[in-house]
């Protein structure tokens, strides 16, 4: 919309009509008044109410042709874009903003805009904006003779500060960082940048709502302001991320001491919505002299923060050369994965699963591989974590499910009792479209849902017990099986396991490896098998590589097994040939 990055995607009358049909004009008028605009998630105008003609002088049905950066005042475009992106990321959220917009006659109008994210509303499916012209209110206020100065001050502050926390925003931080680096070059001193990310804020938003999440962010901001030096700049960088800029740093020990002080100030309990919340923070630290570019310093601190996250969260990490190499590698993997999905470099292999008592083939597990043009065949351990962090795991997971269901449909004709297992990540479970996409893949392929197992790792279960239980419950409602992968490596217990609709437990290969020679591993496997039997759950041993392991698992009454000793991974066509024998 106004200030959103320009896109050449004009919408014709039919699209406005479609938007009208998808919502109630009277209902929206009741919600926001009679001047409103509907946009998609990319900011393209879908429909505008008749009142927008009087507001800006443009024909409502032509607004899509002219909407874009040119409508917003140059001084307001950056903050308008940031505001829109934040609104877009808040399902059901409402945000307020003021900006100057160009009237068709050439004048600038000051608009008061309220946006509500109704993208997930089945009747609306758009972001709805209510716009009100407050230019005349400004002029009336100007009778005192100071309105211009007040307006300039208001707009300058709004352009450089986060409306939620009152902290400097990304724009002001970058400006001050540039000045700080120039000063460091003159004085031969160092600048420290601390990248802070609140751990698990998403759980607060999902359980209590974004309003309470915002309240928590505001409380954190107040603690941060009290913890930093007067000459430091603490800024909200976006979402749950804050950045602290410190000048005159002597060495990394001083930077670490500042980070520890900030962590101590932020970490702890907060009272939100009559609930006591415990907050921890992951911090990445980067040091630079005046020769370092601002964007490089931010990138390095961000990489250090991700390192802190990957090492368990609630800790701090100092950026170093090895981390830079890992950051470059991460960048290459992320870009490569995007190309892999588009250019067909992803491959699926399927590992047979056998009944230990009868040695009969009863199932297969889908295994993802990446056939990179330069790196060769890449295993999931090399790229799945990055896919999860970037969200690429969602479209990749959809592709895996569709391809597997298509192959399953062919196998089902040859082996009606065969079940197929597909791994599902935590990011997929949290995706609003995942359940519907699963149902669609099952329906299109025409496979029996009761023979499709969706595997979730034990650690995913423990990340968000209530949210995961709800998602798995809905998958079970489709008729699909639920499997817990890598069981024994996480922190779940019998009480936690009973929270989930589990059909299969997969015993981690770290225990299977020593089951025939290590009494402790054998005891763990025996305990898992006994637990599963008491709950009416079948067990699958992973990574069976020797006859001795298979024999001991059989003695311990494990139901099923998979591994190279029993059957190597194969293509879909090879599984089909195996079933024909």
Query: Which part of the chain is CATH 3.30.450.20?
Result: 13-158
Least confident stretch, 101-115, 118-132, 484-498, 526-540: 484-498
Mean pLDDT of 468-477: 90
Q: How many CA atoms lie within 13 A of 305 on its CB side?
A: 24
Tell me: pLDDT of 493 over 60.
Answer: no
Instruction: Identify which of 405, 504, 466, 402 has the alpha carbon closest to the alpha carbon of residue 394.
Output: 402
Tell me: pLDDT of 17 over 70.
Answer: no
Task: Cite the beta strand spans of 293-357 per DSSP E.
Answer: 316-318, 346-355
What is the band of 394 on the pLDDT scale with cuts at 50, 70, 90? very high
CB contact at 8 A, 204 and 272:
yes
Here the tokens at position 409 are 């449909």
Residue 518: the pLDDT is 93
State how far the Cα of 460 lies from the Cα of 450, in Å rounded to an integer. Answer: 22
- pLDDT (tens digit per residue) in 565-576: 999 999 999 999
Tell me: pLDDT of 289 over 70.
Answer: yes
For helices 434-445 and 393-414, the axis angle rounded to 10 degrees is 30
In degrees and rounded to multiples of 5, residue 273 shows phi and psi of 55, 45
Q: Between residues 47 and 152, which one has the greater pLDDT? A: 47
- pLDDT (tens digit per residue) in 367-392: 999 999 999 999 998 899 889 888 89
CB contact at 8 A, 515 and 522:
yes
Tell me: pLDDT of 440 over 80.
Answer: yes
Instruction: Identify which of 167, 224, 230 has the alpha carbon closest to the alpha carbon of residue 196.
Output: 224
State how far the Cα of 468 lies from the Cα of 423, in Å rounded to an integer. Answer: 14
Best CATH choice for the domain 339-580 from the list 3.50.50.60, 3.40.50.620, 3.20.20.450, 3.20.20.70: 3.20.20.450
State how far the Cα of 131 lies from the Cα of 112, in Å rounded to an integer. Answer: 6
Percent of residues, the chain, with pLDDT higher than 90: 48
Tell me: pLDDT of 137 over 70.
Answer: no
- pLDDT (tens digit per residue) in 57-73: 888 777 766 666 568 88
CB atoms under 10 Å from CB of 474, counted, come to 17
Query: Which part of the chain is CATH 3.20.20.450?
Result: 339-580
Residue 150: the pLDDT is 63
Largest alpha-carbon pair distance within the chain? 92
- pLDDT (tens digit per residue) in 168-183: 998 889 889 999 999 8
Q: Between residues 356 and 239, which one has the greater pLDDT? A: 356
* Helix residue spans in 22-105 (DSSP H): 25-32, 51-56, 63-66, 77-88
CB atoms under 10 Å from CB of 375, counted, come to 13
Q: How many CA atoms lie within 13 A of 133 on its CB side?
A: 18
Least confident stretch, 16-20, 53-57, 171-175, 556-560: 16-20
Residue 211: the pLDDT is 82
Percent of residues, the chain, with pLDDT higher than 70: 88
For helices 201-208 and 210-227, the axis angle rounded to 10 degrees is 140
- pLDDT (tens digit per residue) in 296-343: 899 999 989 988 988 888 999 999 878 878 778 888 899 999 999 889
DSSP 8-state symbol, 508: P
Here the tokens at position 230 are 């007067």
The domain covering 170-319 belongs, at the CATH homologous superfamily level, to: Reverse transcriptase/Diguanylate cyclase domain (3.30.70.270)
- Of how many residues is the chain composed? 581
Q: Between residues 51 and 501, which one has the greater pLDDT? A: 501
Tell me: pLDDT of 22 over 80.
Answer: no
Given the structure tokens 């009336």, which residue do they identify? 140
Mean pLDDT of 118-141: 78
Tell me: pLDDT of 554 over 90.
Answer: yes
Mean pLDDT of 433-457: 94
Which CATH code for domain 13-158?
A: 3.30.450.20
What is the band of 448 on the pLDDT scale with cuts at 50, 70, 90? very high
Query: Which part of the chain is CATH 3.30.70.270?
Result: 170-319
Given the structure tokens 């589990």, which residue do they identify? 502
The DSSP annotation for 350-400 comes to EEEEEETTT--EEEEEEEEEEEETTTEEE-GGGTHHHHHHHTTHHHHHHHH
Residue 461: the pLDDT is 80
Residue 466: the pLDDT is 79
Residue 70: the pLDDT is 64
In degrees and rounded to multiples of 5, residue 236 shows phi and psi of -90, 120
What is the band of 9 on the pLDDT scale with cuts at 50, 70, 90? very low
CB contact at 8 A, 40 and 46:
yes
DSSP 8-state symbol, 73: -
Residue 424: the pLDDT is 94
Residue 437: the pLDDT is 92
Torsion of CA 405, 406, 412, 417, to 10 degrees: -10
What is the band of 20 on the pLDDT scale with cuts at 50, 70, 90? very low
* Helix residue spans in 161-269 (DSSP H): 170-187, 201-208, 210-227, 252-266
Tell me: pLDDT of 140 over 70.
Answer: no
CB contact at 8 A, 276 and 298:
no
In degrees and rounded to multiples of 5, residue 506 shows phi and psi of -100, 115
The CA–CA distances, whole Å, from 138 to 18, 103, 409, 568 equal 37, 16, 67, 74
Here the tokens at position 219 are 């409380």
Here the tokens at position 22 are 């998808």
The average confidence (pLDDT) of the chain is 85
Residue 505: the pLDDT is 93
- pLDDT (tens digit per residue) in 76-113: 887 888 888 888 888 777 888 888 888 887 788 888 88
Q: Between residues 472 and 1, which one has the greater pLDDT? A: 472
Tell me: pLDDT of 148 over 70.
Answer: no
Q: Between residues 251 and 143, which one has the greater pLDDT? A: 251
CB contact at 8 A, 7 and 42:
yes
CB contact at 8 A, 357 and 539:
no
Here the tokens at position 33 are 């008044």
CB atoms under 10 Å from CB of 152, counted, come to 11
What is the band of 153 on the pLDDT scale with cuts at 50, 70, 90? low
- CA 122, distance to chain mean position in Å, is 22
Q: Between residues 581 and 217, which one has the greater pLDDT? A: 217
Task: Cite the beta strand spans of 103-151 per DSSP E.
Answer: 108-118, 126-133
The CA–CA distances, whole Å, from 569 to 69, 316, 358 equal 53, 40, 20
CB atoms under 10 Å from CB of 346, counted, come to 17
What is the band of 272 on the pLDDT scale with cuts at 50, 70, 90? confident
Q: How far apart are the first and last CA of the chain?
A: 61
């Amino acid at each position: 919309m106004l200030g959103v990055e320009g896109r050449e995607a004009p919408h014709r009358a039919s699209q406005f009509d479609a938007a009208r049909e998808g919502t109630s004009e009277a209902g929206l008028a009741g919600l926001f008044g009679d001047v409103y605009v509907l946009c998609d998630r990319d900011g393209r105008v879908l429909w505008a109410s008749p009142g927008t003609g009087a507001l800006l002088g443009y024909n409502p049905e032509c607004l899509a042709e002219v909407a874009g950066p040119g409508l917003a005042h140059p001084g307001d475009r950056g903050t308008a874009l940031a505001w829109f992106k934040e609104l877009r990321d808040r399902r059901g959220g409402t945000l307020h903003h003021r900006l100057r917009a160009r009237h068709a006659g050439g004048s600038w109008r000051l608009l008061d805009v309220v946006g509500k994210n109704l993208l997930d509303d089945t009747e609306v499916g758009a972001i709805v904006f209510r716009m009100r012209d407050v230019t005349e209110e400004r002029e009336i206020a100007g009778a005192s003779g100071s309105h211009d100065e007040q307006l300039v001050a208001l707009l300058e502050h709004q352009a450089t500060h986060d409306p939620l926390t009152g902290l400097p925003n990304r724009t002001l931080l970058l400006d001050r960082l540039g000045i700080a680096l120039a000063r460091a070059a003159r004085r031969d001193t160092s600048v420290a940048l601390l990248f802070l990310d609140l751990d698990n804020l998403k759980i607060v938003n999902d359980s209590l709502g974004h309003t309470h999440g915002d309240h928590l962010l505001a409380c954190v901001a107040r603690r941060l302001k009290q913890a930093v030096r007067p000459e430091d700049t603490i800024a909200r960088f976006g979402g749950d991320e804050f950045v602290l800029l410190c000048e005159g740093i002597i060495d990394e020990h001083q930077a670490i001491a500042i980070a520890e002080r900030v962590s101590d100030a932020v970490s702890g309990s907060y009272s939100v919505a009559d609930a006591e919340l415990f907050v921890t923070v992951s911090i990445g630290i980067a040091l630079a002299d005046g020769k370092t570019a601002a964007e490089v310093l931010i990138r390095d601190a961000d990489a250090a923060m991700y390192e802190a996250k990957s090492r368990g969260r609630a800790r701090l990490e100092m950026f170093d050369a090895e981390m830079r190499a890992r950051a470059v590698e991460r960048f290459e993997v992320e870009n490569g994965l995007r190309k892999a999905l588009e250019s067909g470099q992803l491959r699926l292999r399927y590992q047979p699963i056998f009944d230990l008592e009868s040695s009969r083939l009863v199932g297969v597990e889908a295994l993802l591989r990446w056939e990179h043009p330069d790196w060769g065949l890449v295993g999931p351990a090399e790229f799945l974590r990055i896919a999860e962090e970037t969200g690429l795991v969602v479209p990749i997971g959809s592709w895996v499910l569709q391809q597997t269901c298509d192959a399953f449909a062919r196998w089902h004709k040859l082996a009606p009792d065969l079940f197929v297992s597909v791994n599902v990540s935590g990011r997929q479970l949290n995706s609003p479209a995942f359940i519907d996409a699963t149902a669609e893949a099952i329906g299109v392929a025409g496979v029996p849902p009761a023979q499709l197992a969706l595997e979730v790792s034990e650690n995913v279960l423990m990340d968000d017990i209530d949210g995961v239980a709800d998602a798995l419950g809905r998958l079970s409602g489709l008729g699909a099986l639920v499997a817990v992968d890598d069981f024994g490596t996480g922190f779940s217990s019998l009480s936690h396991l009973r929270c989930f609709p589990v059909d299969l437990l997969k015993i981690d290969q770290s225990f299977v490896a020593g089951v025939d020679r290590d009494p402790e591993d054998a005891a763990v496997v025996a305990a898992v098998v006994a637990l599963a039997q008491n709950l009416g759950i079948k067990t699958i041993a992973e990574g069976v590589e020797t006859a001795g392991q298979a024999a001991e698992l059989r003695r311990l009454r494990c139901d099923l097994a998979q591994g190279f000793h029993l059957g190597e991974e194969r293509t879909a066509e090879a599984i089909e040939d195996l079933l024909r024998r």
